[in-house]
């Protein structure tokens, strides 16, 4: 499966260089040049890996990492012009998976990207697969949903509907898309079926959260963080 990588660096020359290296290896890339833009792109279309510079405008790479880790455990490789041990240690303690000191060789960057992706996704295939949000945990192996620590009864269609929303945070799905993905293209029912299932899910996950299932008027739904 083709991997998507978010490149975050305020130095456009470096970002463009990394972009070239990764595309030559077959990766799909997207670039951001400050922390705020990086988070907007991350929540709009979560990548498989982030290459994240530490020194950024608006907010540091460490701050970006903290925000990402609230909803996702995807791999993060820190980039830094500094070689002090404290930066490396802090990056790893905040949830970074690796670091690379500038200037670096293209081969070293690619090797680290491949190694981190290999570790993360091979582990994910073997270990218990979970999607985690504050107060909400979905276990994909045993198909259980826990809300605020309590097991929630979630029939098959509700589970699949919630899974699509949880794995595509902030992405808007039309009712027709959700019907196709969950009920199938040959389903004869109407789009109101989706509304009924969303209503049931909301009733089970009611409360104060940093996320919510939001209705997008005349279109459909999204899980908004």
Last residue of a domain, one of 100, 126, 152: 126
**Percent of the chain whose pLDDT exceeds 90:** 40
Query: Do residues 10 and 117 both lie within one domain?
Result: yes
Is residue 207 within 8 A of residue 149, CB to CB? The reply is no
Query: Do residues 28 and 46 both lie within one domain?
Result: yes
Q: Residue 103, preceding bond cis, omega within 30 degrees? A: yes
Note the pLDDT of residue 126: 45
Is residue 101 within 8 A of residue 82, CB to CB? The reply is yes
**What does the angle CA 209 – CA 151 – CA 223 come to, to the nearest 5 degrees?**
35
Summarised one tens digit per residue, pLDDT across range 91-146 is 667 778 888 888 889 899 999 899 888 887 765 544 557 888 888 988 888 888 99
Q: Could you tell me the CATH number of the domain that includes residue 68?
A: 3.40.50.2300
Is residue 174 within 8 A of residue 223, CB to CB? The reply is no
Note the pLDDT of residue 87: 58
Query: Do residues 112 and 139 both lie within one domain?
Result: no
For residues 156-173, give the mean pLDDT.
Answer: 92
Query: Do residues 122 and 134 both lie within one domain?
Result: no
For residues 14-31, give the mean pLDDT.
Answer: 93
CA distance 156 to 137: 16
Q: Could you tell me the CATH number of the domain that includes residue 157?
A: 1.10.10.10
For 78-92, 145-159, 160-174, 207-221, which range has the lowest pLDDT when averaged over its residues?
78-92
The pTM score is: 0.56
Query: How far, CA to CA in Å, does 113 sit from each of 34, 38, 153, 170?
Result: 21, 18, 39, 26
Query: Do residues 11 and 66 both lie within one domain?
Result: yes
For residues 48-63, give the mean pLDDT.
Answer: 91
Note the pLDDT of residue 1: 58
Query: Do residues 45 and 76 both lie within one domain?
Result: yes
Domain total of the chain: 2
CA distance 73 to 52: 14
Summarised one tens digit per residue, pLDDT across range 177-218 is 898 888 775 454 566 888 999 999 999 998 888 889 999 998
Query: Do residues 120 and 146 both lie within one domain?
Result: no
- What range does the domain containing 35 cover? 4-126
CA distance 103 to 111: 15
For residues 64-85, give the mean pLDDT.
Answer: 81
Query: Do residues 8 and 109 both lie within one domain?
Result: yes
Query: Do residues 97 and 136 both lie within one domain?
Result: no
Is residue 52 within 8 A of residue 78, CB to CB? The reply is yes
Question: Higher confidence at residue 147 or residue 125?
Answer: 147
Note the pLDDT of residue 123: 53
- Provide the pairing of β-strand 76-80 with 49-53: parallel
């Amino acid at each position: 499966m083709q991997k998507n990588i978010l490149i975050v660096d305020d130095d456009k020359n470096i970002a463009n260089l990394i972009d070239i290296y990764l595309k030559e290896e077959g990766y799909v890339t997207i670039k951001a040049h400050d922390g705020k833009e990086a988070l907007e792109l991350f929540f709009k279309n979560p990548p498989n890996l982030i290459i994240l510079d530490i020194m950024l405008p608006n907010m540091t790479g460490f701050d970006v990492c903290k925000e990402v880790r609230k909803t996702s455990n995807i791999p993060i490789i820190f980039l830094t012009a500094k070689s002090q041990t404290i930066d490396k240690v802090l990056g790893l303690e905040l949830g970074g998976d690796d670091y690379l000191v500038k200037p670096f060789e293209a081969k070293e960057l690619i090797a680290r990207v491949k190694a981190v992706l290999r570790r993360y996704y091979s582990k994910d295939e073997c270990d218990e697969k979970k999607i985690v949000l504050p107060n909400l945990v979905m276990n994909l192996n045993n198909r259980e949903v826990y809300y605020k620590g309590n097991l929630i009864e979630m029939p098959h269609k509700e589970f699949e509907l919630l899974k699509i929303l949880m794995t595509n945070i902030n992405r808007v799905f039309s009712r027709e898309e959700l019907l196709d993905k969950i009920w199938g293209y040959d389903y004869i029912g109407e789009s109101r079926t989706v509304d009924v299932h969303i209503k049931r899910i909301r009733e089970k996950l009611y409360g104060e959260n940093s996320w919510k299932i939001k209705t997008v008027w005349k279109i459909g739904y999204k899980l908004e963080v």
